Structure 1
Amino acid sequence: MDCLIHPCYFPNIAHFLAMYKANTVHLEVCDNYQKQTYRNRTEIYGANGKLSLTVPVIYSQTNRKQYKDVQIFNSEKWQQQHLKSLTAAYSTSPFFEYYIDDLMPLFTRSFTYILDLNLLSIEFLQNALQLDVSLKHTKTFEKTTKELRDRRHLVNPKEATIFLTPYTQVFSNKHGFISNLSILDVLFNEGPATELYLSKQQLYK
C-alpha cells in the first residue's frame, strides 16, 4: 500500500522501514514545521551510547513556516560536527569505508533548506540500497487521508517505537543493542545485507 510520510534527516529504522514496505511513498512537504522531531535530527550509536545529530534551523513558534520553507542555520559548523561524529562512531564498522565517499556531498555541499538536505539523504539511501521505491511530493496538506497509509506520526520520537531483530553494532559490547537508530547504523554494520534485514522486520504502528 502507498504511504504518506515526512522526509527526515537520515531516517531511523522504523521510518525507513515504512518507506521500504510501501509501493509508492508520498513525502509530506506541505505541513507546518514542528520542532523536536526527526525532521532535523537523527540518532547514531557513539562510544558513549545513543548520540543525537541535530541540524540547526531558523525557526520560531511565533513565526510559523511550512516545512519546505525552513532554512538551515549554517553559521554553526554542523556538517563538520556530524561528519566527525559519524567517523568516530563507525570508522571501524565493516562498511563505513564502502559508503563514505558517496555520503560526503551531504557534508561538503551547502544547503539552504532543511527539506533539500533531507531529500538528498533519502536519495543517498535509495542508491546505497538500490531500492526501487517511487517517491512523490504532496501538493497540499491534508489532516487525514483514506487513500494512503498515514505514517506521518513516525516523525515524532515518542511515536517511533518498534521491535527490531538485534544486529551487530560497533559498541554493543559496551552498551548492548540500541534499537531504532538511524538507518545508517544498519547500513554501516550490515552493508548490502541491510535490505535483507529490513525485509524480515515488521512495522506494527
Structure 2
Amino acid sequence: MEKGAVFPLFYLPNVEFFKNLQSLKGTEILIEHQEHYPKQTYRNRAVIAGPNGKLELSVPVKKGDIKRTPYKDLRICNDDNWQRIHWLSLCTSYRSSAYFEFYEDAFAPFYHQKFDFLFDYNLQLLEILLKSLKLKIDYALTIEYHPKYNDKQDFRSSLDFRKTTGYENKKYHQVFEDRNPYLNNISILDLLFTQGPQASKFF
C-alpha cells in the first residue's frame, strides 16, 4: 500500500493534480505549507481554454525578496483589478458551458472578495474544488519543511508547467473545440464546467 504523498498547493490545479489525489485516496496526503515560494510555477497561475485557445491566468503577488518568502506568508497584490479580469475571463470562456451556472455561485466569491495571502486563497479554492468534484480527500498541512521524502511520493516539483509529465486525461468536449485544438491537462475548471458531476471520470 502507498505510504502517501506530498503535494504543492496550486491555483486552480490541472486535471493531473486531481488524478493523483484521487489515486492516493486513503493514504497520508500532505499539502506543503512550509516551503519558500518558488517563482514561475502553478502556485499562482492556471491555464484555461479561452475563445482564442490557451489562456493563462496569473495571480499577482507582492514584490520583494520572493525567494526568501515562505509561501504561506506571500501576499497577493491587489493593486490591480486582477480578480475582475480573471472572472471576466472565466465567464467569457465558460458561460455557454453546460455546468457553469451550476457552479457559478461557489466560485464567484473568490473573484469579488479580497484575499490577503496566496496560500490561504488557494487552499480555500482547493476545498471548493474537492467538494464540487465530490472527492472526499483527507489531507494535512506539513508542519516543517523537508527537502526530500523517502517514504512518500513527492509532487512538489514534478507538477510544474515548465515540465511535461506525459499525462493525458480522457478527452472531453471543450467549449471552443470547433475553432481551437483540444487542450490536454489544463485547469480542472475546464473539465468541471463542461462535464459537471461526471468530471472525475475523465481523470
For the aligned pair, the TM-score class normalised by the smaller chain equals over 0.9
144-153 vs 4-13, greater mean Cα deviation: 144-153
Q: Summarize deviations over 1:100-139 as a string: whole Å, max 9, x none.
A: 0111111122110000110011011111112110011001
11-20 vs 112-121, greater mean Cα deviation: 11-20
Give the structure 2 partner of residue 181 of structure 1. Answer: 186
Q: Summarize deviations over 1:5-51 as a string: whole Å, max 9, x none.
A: 11111101112221222224210011110111000011100011000
Give the structure 2 partner of residue 72 of structure 1. Answer: 76
Shift of 1:62: 6.8
The answer on 1:123 being equivalent to 2:102 is no
Aligned mate of 1:157, from 145, 156, 161: 161
Is contact 2:51–2:93 with CA below 8 Å preserved after alignment?
A: yes
Give the structure 2 partner of residue 12 of structure 1. Answer: 14
The normalised TM-score by structure 1 is 0.92
Aligned mate of 2:108, from 104, 107, 110: 104
Paired-residue identity, %: 33
Is contact 2:38–2:67 with CA below 8 Å preserved after alignment?
A: no
Any residues of structure 2 matched to 1:50-61 within 5 Å, and which? 50-61=54-65
Q: SS in structure 1 opposite 2:106? A: helix
Letter in 2 for 1:144: K
Gaps of 5+ in 2: none
Gaps of 5+ in 1: 199-205
86-95 vs 60-69, greater mean Cα deviation: 60-69
Distance 1:40 1:116 in 2: 12
Backbone CA RMSD of aligned residues: 1.4
Shift of 1:152: 1.1
Distance 1:129 1:16 in 2: 9
The normalised TM-score by structure 2 is 0.93
Shift of 1:72: 0.3
Letter in 1 for 2:119: L
8-17 vs 84-93, greater mean Cα deviation: 8-17
Distance 1:16 1:157 in 2: 15
Q: Structure 1: which 4+ aligned runs deviate by more than 6 Å?
A: none
Any residues of structure 2 matched to 1:32-71 within 5 Å, and which? 32-61=36-65, 64-71=68-75
The answer on 1:140 being equivalent to 2:144 is yes
Distance 1:131 1:142 in 2: 27
Distance 2:158 2:17 in 1: 6
113-122 vs 53-62, greater mean Cα deviation: 53-62
Q: Summarize deviations over 1:61-117 as a string: whole Å, max 9, x none.
A: 576201101000011111111000000000011100110011111112211000011
Aligned length: 198
Is contact 1:18–1:151 with CA below 8 Å preserved after alignment?
A: no
Aligned mate of 2:200, from 192, 195, 198: 195
